[in-house]
Amino acid sequence: MVSRLESAAATRRALVEAAADLLDEGGPGAVTLRAVGTRADVSRGAPYGHFPDKEHLLAAVAARSWGHVSEGLDALIAAEHLTPAERLARALAGLMDVGRRHPHAYALMFDAPSTASSEAIAAVSRTHDQFLSIVAGALADPQRARPVGAMLLTSVHGIISFENGGLLETKKWHVTGDQLVEMVIRTATAPQ
């Protein structure tokens, strides 16, 4: 028998999943508590019992997205067959993939919500720590991990934003987003 707590957790997960799907399909405007409830096939009032408003629901979607990134980083950290440089390249490729496949959720991940979500803050903090660990492993001088990590993340964020905005035209720039990521990694990991 499913406990009330387990049932509530399952409903919350279904609501967040439904919100993520609607976000992918139509952007933030497509996400309403009513539409999410309908998509999750729950009672009309269920979304309101779990989230006071749309902003809190979207913060939960951002936390979920960071959680998925964190799971990928865990797998990379545990992959002993990969070199530190390969781990770093795959970590950034994973972030690029999120930005390309789920641009609206990606935007939420990097948007400072006006409603602080402890769940989202914890997910971001954990992910950043994992990423810094991967960066430190790829550098000759691990003390440079924080500034190099910041440079890598902001560079990838810019590349994704440029791509998603339709501004990274290969004909014009003679480079793809993936090639830019490779260039940034080479620059960041070059011996000082």
Please provide the DSSP assignment of 93-155 as one string: HHHHHHHHH-HHHHHHHTS--SS--HHHHHHHHHHHHHHHHHHHHHSSSGGGHHHHHHHHHHH
As a whole number of angstroms, the distance between CA 54 and CA 125 comes to: 23
How big, in percent rounded to 5, are the helix, strand and coil portions of the chain?
Answer: 80, 0, 20
Q: Which regions in the chain score pLDDT beneath 50?
A: none
Residue 98: closest CA among 68, 123, 59: 68
pLDDT of residue 118: 76
Enter the DSSP assignment of 42: -
User: What is the number of residues in the chain?
Assistant: 192
pLDDT of residue 124: 87
46-54 LR contacts (CB < 8 Å, sep 24+): 46/11, 46/15, 47/15, 50/8, 50/11, 50/12, 50/15, 51/15
The Cα-based distances of 40 to 15, 16, 33, 44 in angstroms read 6, 9, 10, 10
Average pLDDT of the chain is 91
pLDDT tens per residue, range 64-120: 999 999 999 999 999 999 999 999 999 999 999 999 999 999 999 988 665 656 777
C-alpha triplet 62, 68, 70: angle, nearest 5°: 105
Looking at this protein, which amino acid is placed at residue 36?
A: V
pLDDT of residue 121: 82
- How far is C-alpha 168 from the geometric centre of its chain's CA atoms? 21
The answer for 27, left when phi > 0, alpha when psi is -120 to 50, beta otherwise, is left
pLDDT of residue 119: 75
Task: Write out the two tokens for 76.
Answer: 């990379």
Task: Write out the two tokens for 69.
Answer: 């990134």
pLDDT of residue 1: 66
> Which is it for the CA torsion 114, 32, 42, 110, positive or negative?
negative
